[in-house]
Structure 1
């Protein structure tokens, strides 16, 4: 009769556990090696950008801040004319920033002959020109571009997208390595929820890294998942998919106050010929909300079409900017929003309201001649996915619950930066001379079906990441394939 050898079974289990641990550690190392410098950039720039409402008025106080006066403010049309007179020769007005704060100047954005844009600031009480500021080169624009693309254009967008995807691997492997288990690691001991400060050297850094990492894991996961829909490659494709599947904003905007997924049927006696002409024009028109010169638009409406109106005779009168502001106020949009000005005789005024509360988001397209609302897009018109992303965006940017939201975002961001730095210190203390210092590959191949399945799913959902995982796997086999013992 066969009697199982418990010692052999325990030894096999211990070997399998050690092999799994080394595999996870190895992947955590490679993910961290790539993500660590980019994570620091993301943390610093993200913190600065979420504090934009406080930073910009301090940096550009001479242009953005005025003394509040009891005198009435000049009309928007008058202020626009003053700004136009102070703009460079050949500049074309594109956007008006609308606000009611009595201490803030009036801001209008102009497109310059060079193709760049410039903000012109005017005292709303006297009409005096306060100065100009390049849209592309102002500090917060540079911070945002650094955050999203490292100032490297499309290449930088792809790198930052990859950094977000590989952060998911870093979080997953980090939690698995931290997870208490076995005879020597329980939920009650130090090193799980609280670092053991009595330790010294690399062990102290390891405890700080592991415990700190688990506390910041949820925040890091949220930042990645809420940021990826805005990424330049995967995010754009995801937005197109969500829009076409009506999980984002339903395709097509028809009618004055509501949004429909298709154009309503119109009989010939009701002006069907004109509606069909408008429908044909709408389908052929390529201008999207994301193409407008707006500082920020809700994610859900980015790929929606901007309607056009039948062109009028040259010199036909437009409704005034003040009328559009009054119309927006009548629709409940009263403060801190942007109006994209008509670009041509067939263009429209577009009111874009991107507030802290996603439920108040609003997009209005207004006929420049009649002042009629051509479309009115509200939060309730979004698909479920777009509604979730709207909330995620507001929280991600530190806007949803005010200053407290900014503080929480800054704390998480800087905490993640500290995790990157502590990981670097651990690697520096452990690395051999003139070698990469990757954790040794285990002897044998552990099953780890759940882990392999998870990586496969990530590679399918994020194809660019899937390609880089193959590159890492092949490089690991070719260049860093030696096994050996190393401490953890």
Structure 2
């Protein structure tokens, strides 16, 4: 029997160490960028998850009314009361419909200044209870922080990059934790070894907590990226072109239940011309929330009508929505132009019930009816992901689960920071030392390449990090 070759064993061990140092180095760079943004995402995401409970508490004087058990005024009368309370030039753009008898009626107006505000009216006596700015209310600010740090496009790109780099952090974290030749430690895999002290105790807490939260973190990233400002828009367009995303439009252009309104040939031609030249998308409407699957669909335009033509009453629109199975907690975008339409947008907790109706404002004919069955396969998955991501799908338990994952990820950022500070030499960044010999790691490099191709902006930043790493820390290497 041949004796084991000590040189071969030493070379094998050196390769294992080199693998581990390379993974640790990328984990460090990813975490250094992601940690502070992950804390922001975790805190704002948790707050926004409980929006349905928080807003009525914050604005109880405007949103909550006493149920008198008497009849409620019609929606048209309530809208008239809201219009009378607003300054000259304010345009009603949205009616939010709820059947809860303890909630006030909400109407959104576009002000002459260009901003929007919600007006709340008591549905029993028509008293105007007050207003709230749409742009400056607390939950809107929390959402803006979550999506873009309130920095506009720059912030959106930063948050998108944070999501992408979180994928690197998850992948390298799992690889560093994985038991085997890269990690031969005993214990501390599924439960932290609380008997340890110092940095080792923090490392166990970080590694074990990370592995338990990895699936939740991965889900949050993958379900959140389709909503991002740059990659998300491109992905939506790609999914549509491949017939995997949202419906292309109305009137037979996709699997959309629709009926053209009856009209004269001249009106028909005008309506079709408007359809081809329309500019507004669903995401442009003043709706509180719009399903991802229809966000980029075009809003159809109705035919021109005579100056004396009467608009369909809002109460009739509520009745039409109920007839189509839309009963509660939805928005009706109001027409603001002669060729505008009513848009009923239903974004419930169960994605299968999502519905979007575009209705001619004069005839009441349904121009377009988009339901869940009209969505492509990718859009259906994203709809479920969105509902779970926002803590809506299975009620309070979903909210609690999302909050636990979010706050757990924030705690991981804290433990990672503590480990870094305990290891970092004074006045140095503390980058893990590069191995003396670069290991092949073809699977790892191939994975990063694929990730960079899927997310081009992230690919560019990975290349930048690789170059900076060699320029700034290229000399210092670990001994072989």
- TM > 0.5: yes
Contact 1:248 / 1:384 at 8 angstroms: preserved in 2?
A: yes
Checking the alignment, whether the CA contact within 8 Å between 1:285 and 1:305 is kept in structure 2 is yes
State the Cα RMSD in Å. Answer: 2.2
Selected match of 1:242 from 231, 239, 250: 239
- What SS class does the counterpart of residue 213 from structure 1 fall into? helix
Aligned: 1:288 with 2:281:
yes
Answer yes or no: is the 8 Å Cα contact 1:442–1:483 preserved in 2.
Answer: no
Counterpart secondary structure, 1:57: helix
Partner of 2:202: 205
Contact between 1:243 and 1:249, CA under 8 Å: does it hold in 2?
yes
SS in structure 2 at match of 1:339 = strand
For 2:14, the equivalent position in structure 1 comes to: 15
Assess, with a 3 A threshold, how the Cα gap between structure 1 residues 278 and 484 changes in structure 2: closer, same or farther: same
C-alpha separation in 1, matches of 2:107 and 2:259: 37
Equivalents in 1 of 2:257, 2:323: separation in Å? 27
Partner of 2:345: 352
Which blocks of at least 5 consecutive residues in structure 2 are unaligned? none
Q: How many matched pairs?
A: 478
2:96–2:331 Cα contact (<8 Å) kept: yes
| 1:260 Cα deviation from its structure 2 partner | 3.6
CA offsets 1:90-118 (integer angstroms, 9 cap, x no match): 21100000000000000000001111100
Secondary structure of 1:192 counterpart: coil
Evaluate the alpha carbon distance shift between residue 248 and residue 183 of structure 1 in structure 2; reply closer, same or farther with a 3 A threshold. closer
| In structure 2, C-alpha distance between the alignment counterparts of 1:281 and 1:106, rounded to whole Å | 33
Deviation digits for residues 134-179 of structure 1, max 9, x if unmatched?
0000000000000000000000000000000000000000000000
For residues 32-431 of structure 1, the aligned pairs below 5 Å read 32-182=31-181, 185=184, 189-254=186-251, 259-260=254-255, 277-431=270-424
Q: 1:195 to 1:67 in 2, by over 3 A?
A: same
2:132 partner SS: strand
* Structure 1 residues 307-342: Cα deviation after superposition (integer angstroms, max 9, x where no partner): 111111224200000000000000000000000000
Residues 105 and 122 of structure 1 are in contact (CA less than 8 Å); yes or no, is this contact kept in structure 2?
yes
Deviations 1:452-473 (A, max 9, x none): 0000001000000000001100
Does the Cα contact within 8 Å between 1:252 and 1:262 map onto a contact in 2?
Answer: no
Report the Cα offset of residue 243 of structure 1.
Answer: 1.8
Please say if residues 100 and 336 of structure 1, whose CA atoms lie closer than 8 Å, have aligned partners that are also in contact. Answer: yes
Does 1:480 find its partner at 2:479?
Answer: no
Structure 1 residue ranges (4+ consecutive) displaced by more than 4 angstroms after TM superposition: 261-265, 270-277
How far did residue 70 of structure 1 move? 1.2
**Shift in Å at residue 182 of structure 1?**
3.1
Deviations 1:398-455 (A, max 9, x none): 0000000000000000000000000000000000111100000011110000000000
Q: Given that residues 292 and 383 in structure 2 are in contact (C-alpha distance below 8 angstroms), is that contact kept between their aligned partners in structure 1?
A: yes
Is the CA contact (8 Å cut-off) linking 2:257 and 2:369 kept in structure 1? no
Q: Structure 1 residues 274 and 114 mapped into 2: Cα distance closer, same or farther (>3 Å)? A: closer
SS in 1 for 2:370: strand
Calculate the TM-score normalised by the size of structure 2.
0.96
State how far apart, in whole Å, the 1-side matches of 2:372 and 2:150 are: 32
Aligned partners of 2:436 and 2:478 also within 8 Å:
no
> What secondary structure does 1:226 align onto?
helix
Structure 1: distance between partners of 2:224 and 2:183: 38
SS at match of 2:119: strand
> What secondary structure does 2:446 align onto?
helix
1:386 aligned counterpart, secondary structure: helix
Q: State whether residues 121 and 132 of structure 1, in contact with CA within 8 Å, keep that contact through their aligned partners in structure 2.
A: yes
Partner secondary structure for residue 94 of structure 1: strand
Partners of 1:386 and 1:485 in 2: how far apart?
A: 48
Cα drift, residue 250 of structure 1: 2.6
Alignment partners' CA distance in 2, 1:183 and 1:155: 39
Render the CA deviation track for 1:195-223: whole Å, top value 9, x for unaligned: 00000000000000000000000000000
Q: CA deviation at 1:483?
A: 2.7
Gaps of 5+ in 1: none
Alignment partners' CA distance in 1, 2:377 and 2:268? 30
Give the drift of 1:89: 2.9
- Is 2:176–2:182's contact at 8 Å kept on the other side of the alignment? no
For residue 190 of structure 1, report the CA deviation from its aligned partner.
2.4
Q: Is the 2:18–2:439 Cα contact (8 Å) retained in structure 1?
A: yes
Counterpart secondary structure, 1:479: helix
Query: Contact 1:259 / 1:377 at 8 angstroms: preserved in 2?
Result: no
Q: In structure 2, what is the Cα distance between the partners aligned to 1:330 and 1:78?
A: 22
Q: Does residue 432 in structure 1 map to residue 425 in structure 2?
A: yes
TM-fit CA distance, 1:5 = 5.8
Residues 282-324 of structure 1: CA distance to partner in whole angstroms, max 9, x if unpaired? 1221111111111110101011111111111224200000000
